[in-house]
Amino acid sequence: MGGDENTVVSAGTVKTEKDKVSQSQIEQWKQQYGDVYEIKDDGFSEDEMPTFYFRRPGRPQLSRFTKEAMKDAYKAMHNMVYGCLLYPSEEKVKQLFEDRPGLAIAVGNELQRIVGTNQDFLSKKL
């Protein structure tokens, strides 16, 4: 690989940050993890904000999240994001979160929405 490209090892695959995630990689993740989600912000270029790929948070991730959220909600969100992250690398995401700390919350909220923890219900007294 070229010397000036960042090599990434993510979920058992080696890629460069300049590579796009292939459909075959997505299919491989689906076989390994089940549901896979793409999270992106169309308001930014791929260089400014990469497309994120996550496996669906499961019961263990949600259990850990709720336990940690009582002490440190930001850390709990971070851990859920990193626990489900498939691409880009943790190093790349860590750098993004250092530059824009609110991203951890935004991405974590989207993961919560996927599994229904941010579900809105209407209720009325009968």
pLDDT in tens, 7-57: 344 444 444 444 589 999 999 999 999 999 999 988 877 778 899 999 999
Phi, psi of 74, deg, nearest 5: -65, -45
pLDDT over 90, % of the chain:
67
Token pair recorded at residue 40: 């992106």
Rounded Cα–Cα distance for residues 57 and 71 (Å)? 20
CA separation for the pair 52, 89 (Å, rounded): 10
- Please give the CATH architecture assigned to the domain spanning 7-115: 2-Layer Sandwich (3.30)
pLDDT recorded at residue 8:
40
